[in-house]
Chain A
Amino acid sequence: MTTASEPYVLNIGPQHPSTHGVFRLRVVMDGERIQDIDMVVGYLHRSMEKLAEERTYTQNIPFTDRTDYLAAMSNNLGYCLAAERLAGIEVPDRASYLRVIFAELQRLASHSMANGTFINDAGAWQTPLMYMFREREKILDLFEMTCGARLTTNYMRIGGVAFDPPAEFFPAVNALIDELPDRIAEYTELLVDNEILLARSRGVGVVSAEDAINGSLVGPVLRASGVPWDLRKAEAYCAYGDFDFEIPVGHVGDCYDRFMVRLEEMRQSVRIIRQALDGLPSGPHKTEIPLALRPAPGEAYARVEGPRGELGFYVVSDGGPAPFRFHIRAPSLINLSLLREMAVGTSLPDAIVTLGSLDIVVGEIDR
């Protein structure tokens, strides 16, 4: 005897621990199998691109903190690079090095959070997350020491950085990067061969290299599929050309590879910070720019390798004091392009793990 079944709709979110923010998934289930998946976003939409058209170039820097609130430094940096490219402003060497140091500290903080919440989704409830928060907390303390804020840093400026770090910053950051390799080794020991993590994430949410490129996936998600593409190497913006580091890539393109790529990138970030601190040049930390910057009419697209991948800022000037058009290429949103391909046909727990492995930040999706 067969039992007739019909598909039913399941709503995940907008408020749900596995959606990491106000993000809703509308899943059509056929028994245990996902038939269709659709995301409903916009709960955090603040129309920043429109607001930015009313404010001067410098006034727009705090907006960029609030798109991806887990990687404010990278967002600040991407926008300042775009404005500098548009206005033709040169940045002093010390500022470039400080930018690299803070962007890499931000990557460490963001990847700790990403891996912690991913493991949370995979079923290791809270304990590994708290371990990773321990290190993230120290990085946020360094941010607070330097610019007074922990999350919405507003630290980068067009033409440099806002402040030189205080004297107590350097011993603290040196102590942290001496400690971090041991901590990362601890995570590795704790998690990498963990049977539950392997069972839950290996072979789940697989994306081939061709699909990843064609689907505009970027960052650790692209690299986990085996594509060695990193803008820090490809464009060598700021001072990244001066440092020796490697691009970790995965083989399979599953959730486990994404986790491993992030873990390895944390090691590489520590290497970069150590080199940048050793070679930190003296000199001014910013150039003076006019308060009401009026770049010549034109356009600039600058991008950085943020923790979630290619973070681009497309800024158009019409010669006025405010951008004529301000567009953010948000990696969190565009990495969801292949969500349907990844999730349809799998089970609900696998889809949750896949979503966790993409490391989305809802503030950046909605902007």
Chain B
Amino acid sequence: MAGRLRRSLPQAVVAETDEWVEVAPDAIVDVVRWLHDDPDLDAAQLSNLCATDRYDHFEVVYHLQSLDQNHQIVVKARVGEHERASLPSVYPVYKGALLQEREVYDLMGVRFEGHPDLRRMFLWEGYPGFPLRKDFLQITGHHPGLPHFPFEEAGRQER
């Protein structure tokens, strides 16, 4: 699969193993559209979309499913900048990306350019930070959950 992809979109493929193929983030829409339209690969459905925080970059993973050929294609894209992580949205190819990309944005803070409705989903607008990032609990002065932990301040016990 990676070989054919390399022939058709020479700039796109960055790395490959037996299980997945990593593509350039700018080329992700072209890649999934090509996989979607190719009759042999037939990636008809975006079955899963999620992101992993690898400390210095994010890895966005697309599990694509062919229903006719019964195989799964795993495409990854590495998003470099931690503070302004962004990637083109695959919504034009797969309508099923609507909520999955919103979820990744909400919890991981990866922006999807061209997404029609990119808002926080589980958390509210203005929520500090993105919980699934590895540095979330290190945000200074920010305690998720309770505003203060019990007996956090010295002298509280005597009262």
Contacts and interface: CB of A to CB of B under 8 A. Distances in A.
Contact of B96 (A215, A227, A234): A215
Interface stretch (A99-107, A326-334, A347-355): A326-334
A337 B131 CA distance: 23
Which of B48, B74, B124, B131 neighbours the largest number of chain A CB atoms within 10 Å of its CB? B48
Interface of B is mostly: mixed
- The number of chain A residues touching the other chain, given as a range, is 20 to 34
B96 A324 contact: no
Nearest to A314: B50
Contacts of A215: 94-96, 98
Interface stretch (B8-16, B39-47, B81-89, B147-155): B39-47
B1 interface: no
Interface string B139-158: 00000000000000000000
A324 B48 contact: no
A234 B44 contact: no
A246 B98 CA distance: 32
A41 interface: yes
Contact of A216 (B74, B96, B131): B96
A301 B74 contact: yes
B96 A337 contact: yes
Given A45-B122, A214-B44, A216-B100, A312 B131 contact: no
A68 B128 CA distance: 28
A93 interface: no
A340 B70 CA distance: 29
A207 to B, nearest CB: 11
Interface in A308-357: 310, 312, 314, 316, 324-325, 327, 329, 333-334, 336-338, 341
Size class of the B contact interface (CB-based, 8 Å): 20 to 34
Contacts of A234: 70
A132 interface: no
Contact of B45 (A45, A213, A301, A314): A213
Contacts of B45: 213-214, 216
A49 interface: yes
A252 B46 CA distance: 23
Given A50-B131, A227-B67, A366-B122, A211 B95 contact: yes
A45 to B, nearest CB: 4
Contacts of A329: 47-48, 50, 63
A337 B45 CA distance: 13
A234 B99 CA distance: 25
Q: Which of B99, B107, B124 has the most CB atoms of chain A within a 10 A radius of its CB?
A: B99
B122 A217 contact: no
B61 A337 contact: no
Q: What 5 pairs across the A-B complex have the smallest Cβ distances? A: A216-B96, A42-B122, A45-B122, A327-B50, A329-B48
Given A213-B45, A229-B67, A341-B95, 8 more contacts: A41-B122, A42-B121, A215-B98, A217-B96, A227-B67, A312-B48, A329-B47, A337-B100
